[in-house]
A and B are shown apart, each in its own frame.
Chain A
Amino acid sequence: MSASINPALQPLASQPSVFATLRRVIFDRPATIFALVVVILFVLVAALAPLIAPYDPLAQSILDVNKPPSAAHPVGTDQFGRDVLSRLVYGSRNSLILGFVSPVLAAILGTFLGVVAGYFGGFVDRIVSRIIDLLLAFPELLLAILIAAVLGGGFWNVVAVLTVAFTPGFARVARASTLAVKQEPYIEAAVAVGLRTPMIILRHVVPNIAAPIVVLTTLWIASAIRLEASLSFLGIGTQPPNPSWGNIIRDGLNNLFGSPWPIIGAGALITLVVLAFNLLGDAVRDALDPEASR
């Protein structure tokens, strides 16, 4: 046997690849498959909106006001005679873009702040931590309304608002994870071999705090979609006549007894997509957690 020649040699433990783990976590649970299908459909519909929507979402028709579902209008029409399905399909674009852009921007910004605060500690940490605490003291929605009141409404303002609202959450998780990772001997080992601090952070800290950040991002995507709807509902987000799920509900509410279909359609979609992202977040967390992947 080779074992008797080389004292250190032994068969290596077979290592389940990241993809294998991911596959196992995703396909062992029906709920995750469901979530994945919903998310994929959501992205496809948003991307291919012009091809899928049967009508122009802005086109009004006096003749088709407040129609219940029919062959021509599968989810009915609203008080201006606009096709609800088409508005929902186009509305998904705003939800999707906003749902992704803000959490991802917030993840980058928050991770940067959290890692810097956690790694360097001291004065930097005190400043960053106080700002985080201050921002976390406000509910996201309240914070968003506050900022929107100053900046005004509109899509990009909503993006900015949500990014600011989400950043402290990421910063706090990144800071806590960095504090834990910083205690690991491999960080001291990196210092001892003479690696510069920015490289230590990039190579040895960030990859090892990535898991909770990724999970948090997935969960915040769901929140972002929900918050976009809330803000649009309050008239701060996407401005009419452009459709978004939030303002579809707002418009629908004024016309609840004329046609409940816009509210039912948008409400169902928001619930479905938010649920799907939450389930996906759970799955990703389990896939990335080394304890669970054993």
Chain B
Amino acid sequence: MTPLIRAENLGKTFGASGGWFGGASDQVRAVDGVTFDVEAGETLALVGESGCGKSTLGRLLLRLIDPTDGTVRFEGQDVTRLSSAEMRLMRQRMQIIFQDPFGSLSPRRTIGQIIGEPLEIFGLARGRQARRDRVAQLLDQVGLPPAYMDRLPRQFSGGQRQRVGIARAIAVNPAFIVADEPVSALDVSIQAQIINLMQDLQRDAGFSYLFIAHDLAVVRHIADRVAVMYLGRIVEVGPKRLIYDAPQHPYTQALLSAAPEPEVDTISRRIILRGDVPSPSNIPPGCSFHTRCPIAQEICRQDRPPLAQVAPGQLAACHFARPNPIPVADAA
């Protein structure tokens, strides 16, 4: 069976070199040779720290950004080769939920107009009344009173706006939704509401999520599979259970252990990495993690390890991959 989405060797370099005024080429390799699948109906979480390229990767899949190299196949069709007219039609199948509930809604349009826009574009509800009826139904689905249809976004709280953004995304019955940090801008007590809503909608409609997040507790709750990114590359991917219980890449292990949790017993297991994430415009040679890796050897500075299978369904890009590779003694 073909996966819903297959990204192959996908890459994006920002910043043109040379140009009229020459100058130093300020090229940033935001995404580098990424290959992965998203299966129909699953939630694949993409985690990593800021600047690791996870948001760029989400946008490459939707072709909101054109890739520099590689392909994205959606239901077998290479979306990177579609004309802009064909791509517009394809947007009925793939949607996005944004992080910023304040910026992602056009401030001078009513929420009815915002949610109705995709319906209008794809002719899904013909006529004004039919469209209003469908918008009312969508508002109801995301837990907002349909009577709010003619209000402007600024009258709503962050959580309510995020519901509007979700209604806009599901309006066209997409098969795939990129959710780019959908709860990280919300209050803690509101996050659970939105996460539950997203899960309910997925259970009813059967679409897939690419869930981009930095909150590892949320990811553990919502994801089926998890992909970990570091400096533009996927360093580990696999089923949630394996990633959380037996991470095989030292970065995954450190990342998971660093996340503070409201638990009584966490502190003892913490691995503190040295130094900062290197700049994406100056990625270290070999394994890009070797500058911070507690178990790096000479080979890590020379050869970049490929993403290879380490357990059923689990792939890691490390020369020394094994469950929990950093010894606990180092964690102190």
Contact = CB atoms under 8 A, between A and B. Distances in A.
Contacts of B91: 192-194
Contacts, number: 83
B104 A207 contact: no
17 contacts: A7-B143, A9-B144, A13-B156, A15-B154, A186-B104, A186-B105, A188-B98, A189-B96, A189-B106, A192-B91, A193-B95, A194-B88, A194-B91, A203-B106, A207-B106, A207-B109, A208-B107
A191 B178 CA distance: 14
A294 B157 CA distance: 16
Interface stretch (B145-153, B238-246, B253-261, B279-287): B145-153
A10 interface: yes
Given A188-B64, A189-B104, A193-B91, A6 B121 contact: no
Contacts of B163: 8
A124 interface: no
B175 to A, nearest CB: 15
A194 B152 contact: no
Interface residues of B, number: 40
A12 interface: yes
B117 interface: yes
Nearest to A192: B96
A184 B159 contact: no
Interface in A184-224: 184-186, 188-196, 203-204, 207-208
A9 B106 CA distance: 21
B193 A204 contact: no
Contact of B98 (A189, A194, A207): A189
A190 B117 contact: yes
Interface in A72-109: none
Given A190-B106, A194-B89, A185 B159 contact: no
Contact of A12 (B95, B105, B108, B148): B148
Given A8-B160, A192-B64, A186 B143 contact: no
Interface string A8-22: 111011010000000
B160 A186 contact: no
Given A194-B88, A204-B109, 17 more contacts: A6-B143, A8-B142, A8-B193, A9-B144, A12-B151, A12-B155, A13-B156, A186-B103, A188-B64, A190-B106, A191-B64, A192-B91, A192-B95, A194-B91, A203-B106, A203-B109, A207-B108
Nearest to B102: A185
Interface string B125-152: 0000000000000000011110010011
Contacts of B106: 186, 189-190, 203-204, 207-208
Interface in B148-189: 148, 151-152, 154-157, 159-160, 163, 165, 168, 172
Interface string A167-196: 000000000000000001110111111111
Interface residues of A, number: 24
A23 B103 CA distance: 28
Ranked nearest first, the 8 interchain pairs of A and B with the lowest CB-CB distance are: A194-B91, A185-B104, A193-B118, A185-B103, A8-B143, A186-B106, A194-B88, A207-B108
B155 A194 contact: no
A194 B160 contact: no
B43 interface: no
Nearest to B104: A185
B62 interface: yes
A203 B156 CA distance: 21
B71 interface: no
Contacts of B108: 207-208
A13 B104 CA distance: 19
Nearest to A13: B155
Which has the most chain B C-beta neighbours within 10 Å: A10, A185, A188, A195?
A185
B186 to A, nearest CB: 12
B152 A15 contact: yes
Given A15-B152, A208-B108, A189 B168 contact: yes
A7 B193 contact: yes
A267 B120 CA distance: 56
B156 to A, nearest CB: 7
A196 B91 CA distance: 12
Contacts of A204: 106, 109
B14 interface: no
Nearest to B94: A192
A192 B64 CA distance: 7
Contacts of B142: 8
Contact of A194 (B92, B144, B157, B165): B92
B2 to A, nearest CB: 24
A13 B193 CA distance: 20
A208 B152 CA distance: 14
B121 A195 contact: yes
B145 A9 contact: yes
A190 B64 CA distance: 11
Given A8-B143, A12-B156, A15-B155, A194 B118 contact: yes
Interface in A1-50: 6-10, 12-13, 15
Contacts of B117: 190, 193, 195
Contacts of B148: 12
Nearest to A184: B103
B42 interface: no
A189 B161 CA distance: 14
Nearest to B196: A7
Contacts of A188: 64, 96, 98, 104
Contacts of B95: 192-193
